[in-house]
């Protein structure tokens, strides 16, 4: 895909970081934190038997340092995974620009050497590791194995001798780590000091419900990316889920993933005691275009804008859901 003559070329490392995929990292941290909004931080623990907890509500209830650390971890992991994908596919030769129709890749299109991309990948994973270690220091060391699993999942998506992304398992990774783990984990870093009780149980149930919606939207982004790449991946021997399902069933899967959050939103928000969270339903106004494009049979380059469109759906949905969850705590 060539930029118009005279157009400013994006920085190669920004291009390699794949900004259109970053909503998958940002949204779950905001949503997970919003789920804890009405329950988080204990202002004080009274000296009594049994202990009595004094609860704060609203913005004062959130530990914003932990929020920032969680955001750094999420963004760094997303960027590192993108660099790892670029590095591994570039070394294997499966990002041959003559066989694929997506945006340029650093190694495949000769924008950077494999060694340079490897260093960028290690740096990004390193940033995630340092921020994660600091987060674990303040929250609890139980976060360490979760972080190690996330790093391993990010690298072995297309790295290692048997990449699970080539076995059709990439979507499962995205749903679990950029949906459930990121959302519930962001709630956990705010609530971990509180015992599980009727008071906090609503926050956990709400977070799990929201993680399903967030995970569906993040997975839809990967599905449409792999839908676009079916011809090239078939030639390169990549057995992605889209290759296994075929063109038509992959299009159906994409539409299901993009619409399911809107179908379950009223139940999650209502049963979670945050009815204003249903405000996110307004995001359906930006979901129509990518769904129409996919169902219309768009192929190859015509599917590239759908990736950005899917990211916008996730951003708008996440922003409105976050706002709605927060507003509900004041009603």
Q: Give, in degrees to the nearest 5, the angle at Cα 214 between 218 and 182.
A: 90
For residue 236, what pLDDT band results from cuts at 50, 70 and 90?
confident
The token pair that represents 291 in the structure block = 């769904």
| Average pLDDT of the segment spanning 163-189 | 93
pLDDT at 102: 67
Pair 261, 317: CB distance under 8 Å: yes
| Average pLDDT of the segment spanning 176-180 | 94
User: What crossing angle do the helices spanning 198-228 and 304-328 adopt, rounded to 10°?
Assistant: 170
Least confident among 160-164, 253-257, 312-316: 160-164
Least confident among 20-24, 66-70, 207-211, 327-331: 327-331
End-to-end Cα spacing for the chain: 50
As a whole number of angstroms, the distance between CA 136 and CA 150 comes to: 14
pLDDT at 105: 83
More confident residue, 30 or 191: 30
Pair 35, 61: CB distance under 8 Å: no
3-state secondary structure of 299: coil
What does the CA dihedral 107, 154, 26, 319 come to, rounded to 10 degrees? 110
pLDDT at 41: 43
For residue 47, what pLDDT band results from cuts at 50, 70 and 90?
very low
The token pair that represents 16 in the structure block = 């390699």
- Per-residue pLDDT tens over the stretch 186-211: 999 988 766 455 456 678 889 999 99
The percentage of residues in the chain with a pLDDT greater than 90, rounded to a whole number, is 59
Residue 293 has pLDDT above 90, yes or no: yes
pLDDT at 106: 87
- Per-residue pLDDT tens over the stretch 64-75: 899 999 999 999
For residue 111, what pLDDT band results from cuts at 50, 70 and 90?
confident
pLDDT at 59: 67
- Per-residue pLDDT tens over the stretch 295-321: 999 998 899 899 989 999 999 999 999
């Amino acid at each position: 895909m060539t930029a118009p003559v005279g157009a400013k070329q994006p920085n190669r490392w920004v291009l390699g970081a794949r900004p259109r995929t970053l909503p998958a990292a940002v949204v779950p941290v905001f949503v997970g934190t919003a789920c804890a909004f009405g329950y988080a931080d204990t202002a004080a623990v009274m000296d009594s038997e049994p202990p009595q907890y004094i609860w704060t509500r609203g913005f004062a209830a959130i530990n914003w340092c932990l929020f920032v650390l969680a955001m750094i971890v999420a963004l760094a992991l997303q960027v590192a995974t993108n660099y790892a994908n670029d590095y591994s596919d570039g070394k294997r030769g499966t990002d041959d620009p003559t066989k694929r129709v997506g945006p340029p890749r650093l190694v495949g299109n000769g924008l950077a050497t494999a060694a340079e991309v490897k260093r960028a990948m290690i740096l990004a994973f390193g940033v995630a590791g340092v921020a994660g270690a600091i987060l674990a220091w303040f929250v609890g060391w139980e976060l360490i194995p979760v972080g190690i699993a996330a790093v391993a999942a990010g690298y072995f998506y297309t790295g290692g001798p048997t990449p699970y992304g080539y076995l059709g398992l990439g979507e499962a990774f995205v749903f679990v780590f950029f949906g459930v783990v990121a959302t519930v984990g962001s709630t956990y870093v705010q609530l971990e000091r509180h015992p599980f009780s009727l008071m906090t149980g609503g926050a956990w149930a709400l977070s799990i419900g929201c993680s399903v919606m967030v995970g569906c939207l993040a997975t839809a982004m990967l599905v449409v990316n792999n839908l676009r790449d079916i011809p090239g991946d078939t030639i390169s021997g990549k057995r992605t889920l889209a290759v296994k399902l075929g063109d038509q069933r992959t299009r159906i899967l994409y539409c299901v993933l993009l619409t399911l959050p809107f179908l379950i939103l009223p139940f999650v928000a209502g049963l979670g005691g945050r009815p204003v969270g249903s405000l996110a339903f307004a995001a359906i106004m930006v979901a129509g275009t990518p769904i129409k494009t996919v169902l219309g049979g768009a192929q190859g380059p015509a599917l590239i804008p759908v990736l950005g469109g899917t990211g916008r759906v996730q951003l708008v949905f996440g922003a409105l859901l976050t706002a709605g969850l927060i507003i509900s705590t004041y009603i």
